[in-house]
Amino acid sequence: MKKVFYSFVGALLMCMCIFIFTDILSNTISLKTFLIACFLSLILNGLFIWIWRHEGVFLKSGLYPSALYKVFFMVVIGFEIISVSDKPYIMDAWDGMSPYVTLVLVSLMHGCVLLVMVKWNKKLL
């Protein structure tokens, strides 16, 4: 249950950071958004792993599902935030879909960063 809670909190923090620091609601998919999201993901996932490492001995295989939880929670939270935000500048279908596509790509990248960090961490068993 702790993994689900930490995953939810991590996804919520990541969504807040993405919506504050990037232009995810724009009508284009930019490389700047992915670079900022990657940097934020490294920081938040590093904090996540540090907390788990200092709580005791955990197996790496137990942390792999957390990446799936983070991707799921981030997509759900992000879709809710995008749907309640007012986008008055929608001109065509892509303008309306691009924030959702960007969010899905960023959430997949966030989960992959966690997988790589868990895989390469030598202090976890």
Structural domain contains residue 125: no
Q: Structure tokens of 110?
A: 């966030």
pLDDT band at 124 (very low <50, low <70, confident <90, very high): low
Give backbone dihedrals phi and psi of 13, rounded to 5 degrees, phi first: -65, -40
Structural domain contains residue 88: yes
Structural domain contains residue 95: yes
Global confidence as pTM: 0.80
Rg of the chain in Å (alpha carbons): 15
Q: Is 28 helix (H, G, I), strand (E, B) or coil?
A: coil
Question: pLDDT tens digits, residue range 59-80?
Answer: 667 777 888 888 898 899 888 8
Q: Does the structure show a pLDDT above 70 at 115? A: yes
The domain of 13 spans: 2-120
| CB contact at 8 A, 109 and 103 | no
Most confident of 40-54, 74-88, 99-113: 99-113
| CB contact at 8 A, 92 and 75 | no
If one counts the domains in the chain, the total is: 1
Whole-angstrom distance, CA of residue 30 vs CA of residue 34: 7
Q: Does the structure show a pLDDT above 80 at 110? A: yes
